[in-house]
Structure 1
Amino acid sequence: MQSQNKLNKLVKLALVATTLTASNIAPILMGAIPSAQAVPVTAKRADDFINSICVNTHFGYPDTPYVSQFSTTKQKLIDLGVRHIRDAGVGSSYASRLKELAAVGIKTNYVMLPIYGVLPNSSYWGRGQYVQINDLIKNQIGTDVVDAVEVGNEIDLNYRSHYWRKGDSATLSNDPNSSLYWVSYIRSLTKDTWNAIKGDPATAHLKVVGPSLGGSYGYGSKKLLGDLSNVVDWGNVHSYPFGGNPFNNPFSYATLSKYFYHGNFPSVNIDENPWAQDVYSPSFGSKPMTATETGYYTTGNGKGISEKVHGKYMPRLFLEYFRKGFVRTCSYEFLNEWNQPTNSEANFGLLRNDLSEKPAYTALKNVITRMKDPGVNAKTFTPQALDFSLTVTPPAGYNRSQYVHSVLLQKTNGSFYLALWHDISNNDTTVTPPRSIEHPAMPTKINLNTRISRASTFVLDDAGNKIEGDIAVNNNTVSLNVTDKVTIIKLTP
């Protein structure tokens, strides 16, 4: 058994060796150890978290509310507080919608799709009239409307049906698993897109986002695309968590016999067993990663999650990805495209098809409102450190207290905001519909060295509504129960 002094030294050494948040320390501070020495944790800018949030939209789909109820959809985006959408399309009407959104501070991550004939040069097959990507942005959409260009979408799934003309000699095989011609295609497409965007002074400021894959999920796909690190600004992954994660040693936990296999919690693919980074990051080297598609569907084919669980998961999802270093995370998607309750593709939205708000929309809107920073230096100031640690005393059966996760943020006014949540699976996916699981709270103490004049709490209920109030600071300690919904503690130095 280590002495407390030796343990504290180990914690300090770990801080030197790695970039830690309080949640990294939690596994060391559980069990029989009642408290721990607080240590400095440098905050992230609150504005950077808000800036990482993005939603997928389809403003080129005329049979959906994106077009038929554009004004209301636009207002719902404004009310949500999101600054980024991800979309693809062509045409003057489509461009005018994106321009309207940019005028209120919502910019577009534009997906360059050969299906629309939008390509870096004429050597690529495209459907319809050919348009070069930088000309499209300069002359039709606007260089102040788009802030990133994404190279293709799930090329490994879509290339046979969309990206080649039927019968053309470029299609070497009808079996995508026996011929990986699409790999050389997407590599060339990425390089030429980079050259087109960065070689034009009018578009050189835009970020180039690497291509995504849709079906090449296993570790055998590692670096399938080769090294693209010199022709992208950001890497990319589509890491939907609702399918669980089979790439781990199975263990029983929280009523699930194979916890990662049969759970669908937001960090299932990116944290303890991070196959998303392991498989996709190598192609992009040390470049920052994005997740341009992730999220959940409700109802649908019977396997979708409930709206209640959706409301718990979505604020956690954005915090989880930000916590793991993703610079942009795009939920798929903003609204239910059609009123088709049994169609999973029609039920990914934060809003229902009639544009009423699901709990996930309400919860995310409240988190964004809480964390947005109106300070003039919100994007540039240097955050400070807060000396603190977490002590988690888990209830019986919940010994993995490392699943109490946290992100420390700071605003320009000096206030710290510590977001806490228990990233636990609220579903058992072995049954249809998924079995709902309720979990006990995780009693947690925030041990502080930094002098705090006031602490207040922000919690979410099952409908996504906020509940706020003050909380006592006793002997440099704040005690609270961390649940499976996000709690934000404001700490005023």
Structure 2
Amino acid sequence: MTTKWSRRAVLTAGIAAAAAVVAGDAPVRREPTSSLRAHWSDDLCENYAINIKSFYAKSVYQYADAVFDLITDLGVRTVRERVATGSSLGAQQQRAMQIRLAASGVRWHATVATLADWPRAEQATDAALKVFTEFYGPRLDGLGSLLHSLGGCNEVDGSVVNGEVDPQWAAHARLMQRILWERVRSDRAFDGVPVVGPSTRTDVTPERARLLGDLSAWSDWGNAHMYNRGVSPTKNIDRHLEILRPCFPHADRWFFTETGYNDSRATNRGATVSEEAAATYAVRGICDFFKRGSIYGRFELLDDPDPINTETQQSINFTSDPEAHYGLVAVPDSRSDASPDNWRRKPEFFATQRFLRLMDDRGQRPRTQPLEADIWSSHRLQRLVAYKRDGRHYLLLWRDVEVESQYYRGRGFDVPAASVRVQLRTPRPAAVYVPRYSDVPVRTQPPRTEITVEVAGDLVIVELG
């Protein structure tokens, strides 16, 4: 379904006065920036991760070849899942998958143990790390090609132990994180592998953060979960970081190991959006999180199917698991019918794929190349500047605007376009991309010192040759 806001983004054109001002999106006259700091474009690719569940042996993830093809076709560099120990079918499936991914250049953020393991913290941690040193290391000639990072326990402020929330969750989370840190830092096999703190829930509070306390002695990076609940990804990031900063006061990098959108129509929680809106928000979100020094960890690759009832809202929570509709790939709502033959890649899959391909620049890190330019905009604007080793610059432009109401109504908004003019110091050719819709430019122009574009709801990328 093409909405008003999506048409406006695709038909990117010259300067046009905006007819209205979106609430919270006040007009500005100019960004006085003659020399814009630029980031290597490939770092934006490294700023994205996807959650998988390859050790769920009897779920849709059992189709290992199809899962592998999705991951590599998406272009993601990092996957996240908990390391499985023992010799179960799920553990065997995970090991085969991670070996294949490492060989293809995809690394693993591995979550070590769960909060329920706290009574045997040392044994559980040792068992997980032993999988790396005794299984993966010998087969991969070390762990460098396998491990992106190691993470603490998952959602410690909401973990259920023995059927209820652990009343001592904070103390037990600190114990698990300390043991992980000490074990990793005492084993040379893990040299250079960052240790990420434990994650907390989306609804984490300052009080829970205070209970968890300062974890900087046992972690390199901060960790968080923040689901966007059907609104712009820009919203709430800074507040979330403010809440958790006391837990990771010295972290210069963060990993939001779970974030993203639920696109189920069958929910009365008021926290879902359409697949189309999720695609718009997701590629903007990668940029939003990058600006704050955080990896965008999208949950998850595949829908986890569960029967739904789209007609009876009164009973919806009994018939629809929200986790069934977080995936970048749609799966039928019946596990018995689900197979790769009837999976469907959602618009967000393609938008993310196009974004990652456009920013891809693997190779030796180049010298920083700032962009000499001035920018004028009719509305408040978010921006990043990226560059590639061949000298091209990319001006990434987006706005903190919502493009659709939440489900179950799901009504698209007519977002007035911001007129943006870029004045260059020297003439350069330009191509305008909107990854949400296409992998080819929506417009090109020969070398000039000025380019004008319109930015509505979608991320717009201006390539300067």
TM range (shorter): 0.7 to 0.9
Say which of 370, 384, 389 aligns to 2:374: 389
Of residues 401, 424, 430, the one that matches 1:455 is 430
Q: Which residue of 2 aligns with 1:425?
A: 402
- Distance apart, 1:435 and its partner CA: 3.7
Unaligned ranges ≥5, structure 2: 1-23, 86-90, 138-142, 309-319, 332-341
Does residue 185 (structure 1) correspond to residue 172 (structure 2)? The answer is yes
Amino-acid identity (%)? 22
Instruction: Tell me, in whole angstroms, the C-alpha distance in 1 between the residues paired with 2:148 and 2:225.
Output: 20
Is this contact kept in 1: 2:36–2:372, CA < 8 A?
yes
Q: Which residue of 2 aligns with 1:314?
A: 282
TM-score for the superposition, normalised by structure 1 = 0.76
CA distance in structure 1 between the aligned counterparts of 2:394 and 2:202, rounded to whole angstroms: 38
Residue 98 of structure 1: SS of its match in structure 2?
A: helix
Query: SS in structure 1 opposite 2:157?
Result: helix
Question: 2:25 and 2:403 mapped to 1: Cα distance?
Answer: 25
2:25 and 2:457 mapped to 1: Cα distance? 21
From the superposition, tell whether residues 139 and 352 of structure 1 become closer, same or farther in structure 2 (CA, over 3 Å).
Answer: same
- Give the drift of 1:47: 1.0
The superposition leaves residues 158-184 of structure 1 with CA deviations (integer Å, 9 ceiling, x where unpaired) of 14247xxxxxxxxxxx665xx4x2111
Q: 1:279 to 1:473 in 2, by over 3 A?
A: farther
Residue identity matched to 1:336:
D
Q: Deviations over 1:389-421 (max 9, x none)?
A: 32112xxxxxxx32x211111111111011112
- Cα deviation for residue 482 of structure 1 reads 0.7
In the aligned structure 2, how far is the partner of 1:161 from the partner of 1:194?
26
User: 2:7 maps to what in 1?
Assistant: none
Task: Please list, as runs of the form range in 1=range in 2, the aligned pairs for 1:189-338 lying within 5 A after superposition.
Answer: 189-214=176-201, 217-242=204-229, 264-270=231-237, 274-287=238-251, 288-299=253-264, 300-302=266-268, 303=270, 304-326=272-294, 328-338=295-305
Is structure 2 residue 84 aligned with structure 1 residue 83? Answer: no
RMSD of equivalent CA atoms: 2.6
Give distance in 2, aligned partners of 1:414 and 1:469: 22
Q: Distance in 2 between matches of 1:372 and 1:135?
A: 34
Asked if residue 65 in structure 1 is aligned to residue 52 in structure 2, the reply is no
Q: 1:417 is paired with a residue of what secondary structure?
A: strand
Letter in 1 for 2:43: D
Q: Is the 8 A contact 1:113 1:152 kept in 2?
A: yes
Matches within 5 A, 1:346-365: 346-353=324-331, 354-365=342-353
**Does the Cα contact within 8 Å between 1:29 and 1:391 map onto a contact in 2?**
no
Query: Secondary structure of the residue that 1:480 maps to in structure 2?
Result: strand
Q: Structure 1, residues 1-60: CA drift from partner, whole Å, max 9, x if none?
A: xxxxxxxxxxxxxxxxxxxxxxxxxx99945x4x56542112011111101110000001
Contact residue 116 and residue 161 of structure 2 kept, 8 A: no
Please tell me whether residue 444 in structure 1 is matched to residue 420 in structure 2.
yes
Normalising by structure 2, we get a TM-score of 0.80
**1:239-296 per-position Cα deviation (integer Å, ceiling 9, x unaligned):** 11116xxxxxxxxxxxxxxxxxxxx1111112xxx21110112211121111000000
Could you say which structure has the greater relative contact order, defined with CA pairs below 8 angstroms and 6 or more residues apart?
2
- Equivalent residues of 1:38, 1:447 under 8 A apart: no
Q: How many residues align?
A: 405
Q: Which runs of 5+ in 1 are unaligned?
A: 1-26, 163-173, 244-263, 394-400
Alpha carbons 1:422, 1:483 under 8 Å: kept? yes
Q: Counterparts of 1:485 and 1:62 in 2: how far apart (Å)?
A: 38
Question: C-alpha distance in 2, partners of 1:452/1:138?
Answer: 54
Deviations 1:411-437 (A, max 9, x none): 1111101111222112334x7344432
Distance 1:346 1:216 in 2: 20
Question: 2:462 — aligned with what?
Answer: 489
